Amino acid sequence: MLILLERNVREYKDNEKFEVILMNPPYGGAEGEQIKNNFPADLRSSETADLFISLIMYRLKENGRAAVIIPDGFLFGLDNAKVAIKKKLFSEFNVHTIIRLPASVFAPYTSITTNIIFFDNTGTTKETYFYRLDMPEEYKHFSKTKPMKLEHFADCIKWWNDRCDIQDEDTDTYKAKVYTLEEIVNRNYDIDLCGYPTVEEEVLSPEETILEYKEKRATLNAKIDKKLQEIENILGVKLC
């Protein structure tokens, strides 16, 4: 897929563009100057995922639609290139929906938290809906043996067809909310919105922290000693 970045994006002709683009581009990587030079100066991010967003903008036909997996860093990143990419995206395309995905969706391959951004080439953004897709109650995390399934999107699909703001009264945060382009611009394109509530950790005193770690170490040592004893019994040997 990275070979797609090896061509100057300004060279694409209309017959090389697409009506529908669905993509889960690579992320977490960094690109060198040779690749970055294929993009306009203000869009030359070193991050692979950022460059793919720009590539999609150049290859989406008029009235075309796109749905792209993006990492959290794209939402809250405020370096010059990221802001320029988001400014182009929101001013030239209609970014109508962003779905915040729970952590571990792509476990065990990556732990990076991701989102789905939906946009079309029908004009500038007027407003953007954000929706937080929470972890299913019976799951602590996703894994290779317990992957995310289509059924986990049931509430999201229901909301999609009847959009409204949803406030989580327990955490005083929004699970779903619409933001105008003006609000997004005023945030300097920090679109880390309707995210997951931060879990507050109990802050212990230094003495309590030391005691807690000593207890954990003692428990771990006991488990190791028990396992070693079991192995020695199986082998019929006594190791020092």
Q: Is the pLDDT of residue 95 over 90?
A: yes
Nearest residue to 49 (alpha-carbon basis) of 5, 93, 103:
5
Q: What is the rounded average pLDDT of the residues 146-153?
A: 93
How many DSSP H helices and E strands does the chain contain? 7, 7
Overall residue count recorded for the chain in this entry: 240
Residue 216: band (very low, low, confident or very high) from pLDDT cuts 50, 70, 90: low
Report pLDDT for 56. Answer: 97
Q: Is the pLDDT of residue 199 over 60?
A: no
Report pLDDT for 200. Answer: 46
User: Taking the mean position of all CA atoms in its chain, how far away is CA 161?
Assistant: 23
Tell me the C-alpha distance between 45 and 67, whole Å. Answer: 21
Percent of the chain having pLDDT more than 90? 66
- pLDDT one-digit tens code per residue, 96-124: 999 999 988 988 888 889 999 999 999 99
Can you point out the beta strands (E) in 59-206? Answer: 60-71, 94-100, 114-120, 127-132, 166-168, 173-180
